[in-house]
Amino acid sequence: MGIDQHETHTAHVDAVLEPITPSSRYDYVEIEQERIGFVQPLDRMPGVIARWVRMSIASFKRIWIGIALIVLVLIAVEFALRTIEPRLMGRVYDASLTGGHPIDMNAQGFRGNPVSIPKKDNTTRILALGDSVTLGTGIAANDTWPAQLQARLNTPDQPVEVLNTGLPALDLAQIELELRSRWSDMQPDQIALVMSGNMISFAIARSDRETVEPPNPKARAETQTVSSSGIKSKLKTIYTNLAIPNALLVATEHFKFAIGLENHRYNPDFPAGVMLAHGYIQDGAAPERMDDAYLLVREQLAQIKETADELGLPMVIAYAPPRFSLDDSVRNNLKFVDRDRLSVDPIERIRSICDELDIPLVDPSDELRAAQSPAYVLSDYTHYSPSGHDALAEAIAKAITQR
């Protein structure tokens, strides 16, 4: 390249690159002759900050859009669950609430409206005896079988009052003690006792204990109300009124039974629940343990009958069957009770005892099967829903009116 030719190309120069391979052609690249200016780091800071702000705003927008979508989906699921299964809401159980409903123990010590003492003329008063099934675990006081029995029997010409004296975890010995020492003062005319499988289990579990009166539920509820009036209790109430958490809890419970993480085995030394009454076959549980329980139940029922006769009170007994015993359908056995392990029909065992003691026995199984809606509290095979209590009241009302 000559000098003149070099001077005519003051803006650019051509640089020859080495060939990549011997056979490749030479490539040419133009190199800018202008000097590259040096930029101070601080001079670039505003641009960096601006880019960071723009990126952050874009990221926050994406995050909040995602959060908004998740919230909308949760709201939609919450309303869907509330519509499909309203029983998922209000599952609060403590000393003052059962399933979110006030227990409403009156000053006379039973659930519901107090009654006048002395009793009004021409009024028939029925004592409804029992445990948590009679109390109405999970439902309102007006939906319990004693309240619905009163509604069925009460007429303007013949007023009827039914006193709901049920309390959780009562056994037959405690019921006899309460009848003799407490409820006889309420001037009753009849007795309706609803038995559950828990009473049969407690007969053997508490056989070595002295029978004591249950604690005063009204005083306990008042104490609980005073101690649970803070923010923590209110937040807990809000949480338990949400359908989604309760749906997850119920689904988890059923899933654990389905895969075997939970089972229905009972403690042979202290059997609690209904499985002993059904003769649930399991390792370590001697069959004679169940037979001993039914012998004790016979003694306890005989004592109740003797006390009732002393008070001049006719009585009727109903056995409250658990949900899984109604049929072998999946919908009635969501906790996967192995029905092949059930060796005893409690109703038939109680019927034979009642026949010996000359006590009418009511079997409400047909009425429960015909109930219009699920007859049991959600995720519970022992306690009844309002429709289940209505079925129980219907069966007892038939037995009372036929006497």
Does 41 reside within a domain? no
| pLDDT score of 46 more than 90 | no
Identify the CATH number of the domain in which residue 142 sits: 3.40.50.1110
Summarised one tens digit per residue, pLDDT across range 164-196 is 999 999 999 999 999 999 999 999 999 999 999
pLDDT of residue 48: 67
- What is the amino acid identity at position 64? W
At residue 31, the 3 state secondary structure works out as strand
Residues 65, 143: one domain?
Answer: no
Contacts of residue 249, defined as CB under 8 A and 6 or more positions apart, other chains included, come to: none
pLDDT at 41: 60
| pLDDT recorded at residue 58 | 75
Residue 38 lies in a domain: no
Number of domains in the chain: 2
Which of 99, 196, 88, 92 is CA-nearest to residue 139?
99
Q: Does 229 have pLDDT greater than 80?
A: no
In this predicted model, what pLDDT tens digit does every residue of 322-377 receive, in sequence order?
999 998 888 899 899 999 999 999 999 999 999 999 999 999 999 999 998 889 99
Q: Find out whether 135 and 111 touch, Cβ atoms under 8 Å.
A: yes
Give yes or no: residues 93 and 162 share one domain.
yes
Quick: pLDDT tens for 241-294.
888 989 999 999 999 999 989 999 999 888 888 999 999 999 888 888 899 999
Overall average pLDDT of the 56-67 stretch: 82
Which pLDDT score, from 0 to 100, does residue 222 have? Answer: 54
| Domain span including residue 78 | 59-83
Report strand pairing: 315-319 vs 190-195. parallel
Residue 42 forms part of a structural domain: no
Q: Confirm whether 49 is domain-assigned.
A: no
- pLDDT for residue 49: 74
More confident residue, 50 or 272: 272
Same domain membership, residue 196 and residue 71: no
State whether 74 and 205 are in the same domain.
Answer: no
| Region 143-169 average pLDDT | 95
pLDDT of residue 264: 93
pLDDT at 35 over 90: no
Residues 228 and 79 occupy one common structural domain:
no
> Is the confidence at residue 26, as pLDDT, over 60?
no
Looking at per-residue confidence, does 378 or 373 come out higher? 378
pLDDT confidence of residue 43: 61
| Alpha carbon separation from 134 to 29, 42, 147, 319 (Å, rounded) | 97, 80, 10, 11
* Averaged pLDDT score across all residues of the chain: 85
Calculate the CA 358 to chain-centre distance: 37
- 2 domain residue, yes or no: no
- Do 228 and 354 belong to one domain? yes
- 143 & 73 share domain: no
